[in-house]
Copies of this chain bind each other. A is one copy, B any other.
């Protein structure tokens, strides 16, 4: 039994930060060393600075912990989870990586950088190899590893086994996204109650470009984006948690629905083979009932870590239609970063950083 690896959470008071803290509060491999928030909150107790919005033990049992300033000097740990917004992420994450930390980030700042792995462990674990180039070229002792946008995560998790088995050529995706995807306070209730907002700034572009990178091929030390054509339309709907997506796909070879179903249901990835602590038994849950998946009924299974697929049926244009559902704030955010860290740890990538940790108890 190894001691747990100390971690820092950046942006610990927000919607995603709270989910990091909750997941870490009983994690077998990681233990919170520092919780950081914005400067005006540093020095306060977590319970006083954070309006806890989740079920379960408030503040993950860390309500008395004093928030540290978000700086390497004050809050270093060999592993960092970042729930920062894009602008502060762009500044702070490199500082921690340069100082030797492995930063597992939910922010969008570095997702599309050539030398940064954009990672879903079941989908493209080999992309982790980019880290070697990243560290060499940037002169960092640590690294940054990103998880994708929540909407892209749900989509790519369903596409990955289809791409591996048949080859995905074209994709249409319309999302119906939950309020929690916009953070807190996020969308005003006056705008969302009983309404649909057919626009989420920057979301469609992220889904389109991140999906191609995620399904891309690692060639030497770069990612060749997948050649697939993809079009996304993103909407906000009055749902608290859980992004629904309707998807049409053109697959090479025009496989049968049965073959598609088998490819989806039978798929297991490296997190399943390694039995990572946050990995669901299978990355996809396939539903056969006409009217599933639904956030009300399916979202909380597997702790929000599986993506749900249903309504497999022919598409007159592209061949295959399906309906998806995934937990935007778990598999699409906090759980995603954590699973990335678990993969890195299981591959032994974190050992050197832990050994070099200046605050390591010896």
Contacts and interface: CB of A to CB of B under 8 A. Distances in A.
A29 B88 CA distance: 53
Tell me the number of copies of this protein.
Answer: 4
B229 A317 contact: yes
Given A188-B185, A238-B194, A172 B296 contact: no
A316 interface: yes
A311 B248 CA distance: 21
A130 B112 CA distance: 57
Interface in A182-229: 184-199, 201, 208, 229
B237 A238 contact: yes
A189 B199 contact: no
A295 interface: yes
Contacts of A197: 291, 294
Interface string A147-177: 0000000000000000000000010101010
Interface in A297-317: 297, 300-301, 310-311, 315-317
Contact of A53 (B174, B179, B184, B190): B190
Contacts of A293: 198
A196 B294 contact: yes
Interface residues of A, number: 59
A235 interface: yes
A180 interface: yes
A272 B316 CA distance: 35
B55 A246 contact: no
Contact of A239 (B188, B196, B292, B297): B196
B233 A174 contact: yes
A70 B323 CA distance: 39
Nearest to A321: B233
A230 interface: yes
B238 A193 contact: yes
Contacts of A15: 190
Given A198-B292, A198-B294, A240-B190, A233 B208 contact: no
B194 A239 contact: yes
B196 A193 contact: no
B295 A196 contact: yes
A193 B300 contact: no
B244 A196 contact: yes
Interface of A: 15, 53-55, 170, 172, 174, 176, 179-180, 184-199, 201, 208, 229-231, 233, 235, 237-240, 244, 246, 248, 290-297, 300-301, 310-311, 315-318, 321, 323, 325
Given A172-B231, A176-B237, 4 more contacts: A170-B317, A199-B323, A230-B316, A235-B244
24 contacts: A15-B190, A170-B317, A174-B246, A176-B176, A179-B188, A179-B189, A186-B190, A187-B188, A187-B190, A188-B188, A189-B189, A189-B193, A193-B193, A196-B239, A196-B244, A198-B293, A198-B311, A199-B290, A199-B291, A199-B311, A201-B290, A231-B316, A233-B321, A238-B238
Top 9 closest A-B pairs, CB basis?
Answer: A185-B188, A174-B174, A233-B246, A199-B291, A198-B323, A195-B296, A189-B192, A189-B189, A231-B317
